[in-house]
């Protein structure tokens, strides 16, 4: 009996330790395209993530946290962001902050035009991506690092002063993706490039989103940009996060369902959510990053969350 009691106590202790284990740690490093400038996403559920700069940011990381919580995936989410910056800022100023622990996963991105001084030039992104990847790998040799390729900016495409003026709206996202591919090839420590910009392009080509906010938004289509035609709207950041969620977890974004809680809280309609989830899936499936999965309705996170179905 004494042996059985001791064994039972040991099992209970082991189970308790297992349950107390933290989730996978993931760090987001970026700028306003990560913290959600120009939309209610910026301070969305900031209490669910850790902002290493203590600025009260929720942003895309908090949306990612919400998606993973609803999917029953344990992630501890951290972010370190600075508006108007490329990866060089974090290298020069934030290594002490982002190096305080060994991360399991990292999602990072550079400046939206690739280089403030030389828009469209990938050289700085290539160099800084490699340096940051080496830094993170030094803290954890098994860290899973992903670059995020951002979207075409309407303000860089349609006005005459824009670097991509006169080119189709998909051109900037295509150039940014090519630069990130080059950066990933130059840094073998980087696992993948997350195709956020190409998902935006796909949404426009599929008729889900309007490609030109300067001539008005066509009825029934979404504006993925916010008022400045530069940063994203809540819809744009939602699509960004769906693509990140799918690429990092391997889950079909459609498995969240069109009654996904964060969309409800941010004011997206169920048809809009369904359309954006489909776009995210199609983009990731085309890259071989996810496979079709049956619908898994979101799990209730706590009693104060949204009421799915309303």
pLDDT of 299: 63
pLDDT of 60: 98
For residues 219, 224, 227, 228, the Cα torsion angle rounded to the nearest 10 degrees is: -130
pLDDT of 2: 40
Identify which of 208, 199, 207, 309 has the alpha carbon closest to the alpha carbon of residue 258.
309
Domains, the chain: 23-286 (3.40.50.1110)
Show Cβ contacts of residue 1 under 8 Å, excluding neighbours closer than 6 positions: none
pLDDT of 300: 60
User: What's this model's pTM, rounded to 2 decimal places?
Assistant: 0.90
pLDDT of 18: 29
Distances (CA, A) of 153 to 137, 145, 210, 308: 32, 25, 13, 33
3-state SS, one letter per residue, for 78-105 = EEEECCCCCHHHHHHHCHHHHCCCCCCE
- CB–CB of 58/41 below 8 Å? yes
Residue 72 three-state SS:
coil
Show Cβ contacts of residue 6 under 8 Å, excluding neighbours closer than 6 positions: none
The rounded average pLDDT for each run of 10 residues, N- to C-terminus, in the chain (310 residues) is 39 33 88 98 98 98 97 96 98 97 98 97 98 97 97 98 98 98 93 98 98 97 98 98 98 94 96 98 96 74 50
pLDDT of 125: 98
Tokens of 294: 């049956």
Residue 240, φ and ψ in degrees, nearest 5: -55, -50
pLDDT of 310: 34
């Amino acid at each position: 009996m004494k042996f059985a009691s001791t064994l039972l106590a040991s099992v209970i202790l082991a189970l308790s330790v297992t349950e107390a284990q933290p989730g996978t740690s993931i760090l987001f490093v970026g700028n306003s395209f990560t913290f959600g400038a120009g939309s209610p996403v910026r301070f969305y559920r900031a209490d669910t993530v850790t902002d290493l700069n203590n600025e009260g940011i929720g942003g895309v990381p908090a949306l990612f946290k919400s998606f993973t919580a609803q999917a029953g995936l344990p992630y501890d989410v951290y972010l370190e962001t600075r508006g108007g910056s490329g990866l060089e800022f974090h290298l020069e100023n934030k290594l002490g902050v982002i190096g305080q622990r060994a991360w399991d996963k990292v999602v990072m991105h550079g400046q939206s035009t690739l280089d403030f001084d030389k828009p469209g030039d990938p050289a700085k992104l290539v160099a800084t991506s490699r340096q940051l990847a080496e830094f993170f790998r030094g803290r954890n040799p098994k860290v899973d690092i992903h670059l995020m390729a951002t979207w075409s900016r309407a303000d860089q495409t349609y006005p005459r002063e824009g670097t991509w003026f006169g080119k189709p709206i998909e051109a900037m996202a295509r150039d940014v993706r090519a630069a990130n591919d080059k950066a990933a090839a130059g840094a073998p420590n980087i696992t993948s490039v997350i195709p956020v910009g190409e998902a935006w392009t796909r949404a426009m080509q599929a008729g889900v989103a309007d490609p030109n906010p300067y001539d008005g938004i066509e009825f029934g289509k979404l504006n993925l940009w916010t008022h400045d035609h530069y940063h994203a709207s809540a819809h744009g950041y939602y699509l960004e996060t769906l693509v990140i969620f799918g690429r990092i977890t391997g889950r079909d974004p459609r498995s969240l369902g069109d009654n996904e809680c964060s969309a409800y809280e941010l004011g997206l309609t169920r048809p809009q959510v369904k359309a954006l989830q489909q776009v995210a899936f199609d983009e990731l499936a085309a890259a071989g990053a996810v496979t079709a999965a049956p619908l898994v309705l979101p799990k209730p996170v706590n009693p104060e969350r949204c009421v799915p179905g309303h």
